[in-house]
Amino acid sequence: MSLDSFKPAFAAAFPKCVAGYHMLNTAPIKEGVWEEINTQIFSATGCAVTSTASGGHASGADIVCALGSLSNKSVQYADAAGSRFEISSYRLTTVCSDAKPGDPAAIIAEIKRRDNFDYYSIIARNKAGTAYDWYLIPKSVAALDAGAYTWEPMLGSRGANAGKQVGWRTNTIDGCSMTITFSMSSQLWIKCGSLDAFKPYVVASAPVPVCKKMTYIELAELLAAKTS
């Protein structure tokens, strides 16, 4: 089945999962929690899940479901308007570092070798912590394709690193660019300075409910009372 066939069900289930999570928790939905919630949404809407990473940190796919393979990401919008965010990705120390800067061809090849998924599944929370958007973005879009960019050395501007290569950076495509900083374990960052190209891929949005929080003890006691 196609993504469009699941969208209405996803749009209905996502707010329920957000509400259920925040009835118990004040911390934002991110990382491993997002993988679990995403899995629950798929299972509840008939989008069969065949495997999950279960919170593991290996590169690539976190969930395999009827839509294909997904890499789960959680981000916070960088501004109040929700117009930009950044996605952290692979650590690329095997192909570029302070000791061995590497070259664009090897970097792109390594990124593509690890790209064993079909979609980015991104939950983005607003700066106020009062709402979320869920993006399902095909990995094939140009702004997410490392091979579509022109890569150039990133040079330090101060101190001992002045004039020294400290990483790699790219040009801009559809408001997005990529960077690798050696001092940050050569981690790849996708900097989405404009989300216009990604807006069509928002499949659901949800507010954080304003309600009394239940404790885990209260929930256990409630369930025990219903089953007794």
Give the separation between CA 201 and CA 140, rounded to whole angstroms: 13
pLDDT of residue 54: 66
Percentage of residues in the chain having pLDDT higher than 90 = 82
The tens digit of pLDDT for each residue in 51-82 reads 997 655 455 688 999 999 999 999 999 999 99
Cβ distance 62 to 71 under 8 Å?
yes
Tokens representing 41 are 């949404």
Tokens representing 201 are 């891929």
Give the separation between CA 36 and CA 123, rounded to whole angstroms: 12
* Range 3-19 average pLDDT: 95
* Cβ-proximal residues to 57 (8 Å cutoff; 6+ apart), any chain: none
Amino acid (one-letter) located at 195: L
The tens digit of pLDDT for each residue in 101-142 reads 999 999 999 999 988 899 999 999 999 999 999 999 999 999
* Range 4-32 average pLDDT: 94
Q: Hey, how many other C-beta atoms are within 10 angstroms of the C-beta on 97?
A: 16
Give the separation between CA 133 and CA 111, rounded to whole angstroms: 26
Closest by CA to 38, choosing from 18, 23, 68, 58, is: 18
The tens digit of pLDDT for each residue in 198-219 reads 999 999 999 998 887 889 999 9
Give the separation between CA 136 and CA 118, rounded to whole angstroms: 10
- Indicate whether 1 pLDDT > 80: no
- Strand 68-76 and strand 119-125: the pairing is parallel
- Indicate whether 227 pLDDT > 90: no
Domain residue limits, the chain:
3-227
pLDDT of residue 115: 87
pLDDT of residue 198: 94
* Range 160-173 average pLDDT: 92
